[in-house]
Amino acid sequence: MNETPTPATHDIGGDPRFRCVAVERDEAPPDGFGKRVDAIRQILAAKGLMTVDELRRGIESLPPEQYFDLSYYEKWLLSITRLMAEKGLVEEEFS
Amino acid sequence: MTLSPGTEVRVRDDWPERRGPCHIRTPHYVRGRMGMVARHLGNFPNPEDLAFGRPAPVRALYHVAFAQPPLFAEGTAGDDILIELFEHWLEPA
Amino acid sequence: MSPPPRPAMVDLLARFEAALAARGLLEPGEVEARIAITDRASPAIGAAMVARAWTDAGYRALLLADGRAAAEDMGVTMVGSPPLGVLADAPGLHHLVVCTLCSCYPRAVLGYPPHWYKTAAYRARAVRDPRGVLAEWGTVLPEGTRVRVVDSTADYRWMVLPEQPPETLGWGAERLAGIVTRDVLVGVALPVPV
């Protein structure tokens, strides 16, 4: 058990760091920013320009300090913009 | 060959994230662990390829049950965890 | 609480939308139209499906065999949505849904996932200490009930079909749906007759 490798940043099922952290019971729907990012992901996916798997890969590649600091849709936005830059669909400034 | 419900399987004790960029949907906490096939959920393109825009061969996806206490010390006997796992992560028990 | 977006991120979004539009990848009004469609999905859909399954054995069978077909039978458009799996609670068995790797959630029938479902604490603890998580919601399971946590890792999205409280036998569909909250459909709570 002690030789188990460290999991990837996003692979936090059972992570003992959160063992004593109460779940933050925020029920609010996404704000306007979040809804726009969410909608853009759906639009780009419907146009065949990206998959949800690519979105996840981009989120998972964020460094841990960003992964745990940025908000949910901020992470999505960084993943989507970089992915579109990677595919050459927007300028390099977004990579 | 499709695995039948009740088949005992072992999850591969593999850590691709140590070898380089990858995207895998097998949680770390079941790697190398024994589970039991609950049912075949269908066949889906391999997300490990989809995530990089590569051609993605279709793989069988199973619901696999794991007894909870061996996975986590604070588990309650009788509780279990059901996880979707792709065939290439499963080996004979 | 989820904090407001950083100004740099708001700026990035605006520049990105402009870049997509300049390349012809985003039409005027397209984002607003997509938001309007997304906003239509809510836990009321999942609740109506559960209420119907409680009173209609044929629908219950369909729901458990093919969640996507059962959602479409309620008028939900499932084109482009992942398959919907339905987890039937039973005497002595309770389901709890989590996505430890990201935030997979049956959005077509429950709407946007709530903030708490996406938190690191929920994702980390639901598999390790599901009974502790249930206790935070004040959820008390009948003695001897087994907990089955479903870690939503791949192509399905999962919703719980709770047991119908015996006190509600004979209730109409609308009243039944009223006790099936989002928390019930995720499995952190049980339906409470009111």
What was the pLDDT predicted at B76?
Answer: 93
- B52 to chain C, closest Cα gap in Å: 16
Cβ of C151 under 8 Å from any chain B Cβ? Answer: yes
User: Percent of chain C, pLDDT > 90?
Assistant: 97
Q: Is the dihedral of CA C79, C76, C161, C102 positive or negative?
A: positive
**In sequence order, which ranges of C23-128 are alpha helices (DSSP H)?**
30-39, 43-55, 57-65, 67-73, 107-110, 115-118, 120-128
On whether residue C80 sits in a domain, the answer given is: yes
Q: Which fold has domain A16-94?
A: Cyclin A; domain 1 (1.10.472)
CATH: 1.10.260.40, 3.30.465.10, 3.40.190.80, 2.30.30.50. Which one for B8-92? 2.30.30.50
Residues of A in contact with B52 (CB under 8 A): 54, 57
Please write the tens of the pLDDT for every residue from C63-119: 999 999 999 999 999 988 999 999 999 999 999 999 999 999 999 999 999 999 999
On whether residue C31 sits in a domain, the answer given is: no
Length of chain B counted residue by residue? 93
Residues of B in contact with C187 (CB under 8 A): none
Which subunits count as partners of chain B given 3+ CB pairs below 8 Å?
A, C
| Residue to test with chain A: of B25, B44, B50, B71, most A Cβ within 10 A | B50
* Number of separate domains in chain C: 1
**What is the interface size between B and C, counted as CB pairs within 8 Å?**
66
C152 is catalytic: no
Give the structural domain span for C164.
Answer: 42-186
Task: Sort B2 into a burial class: Cβ within 10 Å, 0-12 / 13-18 / 19+.
Answer: exposed
Mean per-residue pLDDT, C169-188: 97
Please write the tens of the pLDDT for every residue from C84-98: 999 999 999 999 999
What was the pLDDT predicted at A28?
Answer: 85
On whether residue C164 sits in a domain, the answer given is: yes
Please write the tens of the pLDDT for every residue from C118-157: 999 999 999 999 999 999 999 999 999 999 999 999 999 9
On whether residue C6 sits in a domain, the answer given is: no
* Chain B residue with Cα closest to A10: B27
* Chain C residue with Cα closest to A83: C16
Cβ within 8 Å, pair B41-C148: no
Q: Compare CB distances from B61 to C146, C147, C155 and report the shortest one's residue.
A: C155
- Residue A3 clears pLDDT 90, i.e. is over it: no
Q: Say whether C85 sits in a helix, a strand or coil.
A: strand
On whether residue C82 sits in a domain, the answer given is: yes
Q: Could you give the maximum distance between any two Cα atoms of chain C, in Å?
A: 61
Which parts of chain B sit beneath pLDDT 50?
none
**Residue closest to C103 by CA, chosen among A56, B46, B49, A42:** A56
What was the pLDDT predicted at C194?
Answer: 84
- Read off the pLDDT band of C7 (50, 70, 90): very high
On whether residue C171 sits in a domain, the answer given is: yes
Cβ within 8 Å, pair C127-B26: no
On whether residue C33 sits in a domain, the answer given is: no
- Which one of C2, C42, C81, C99 is the catalytic residue? C99
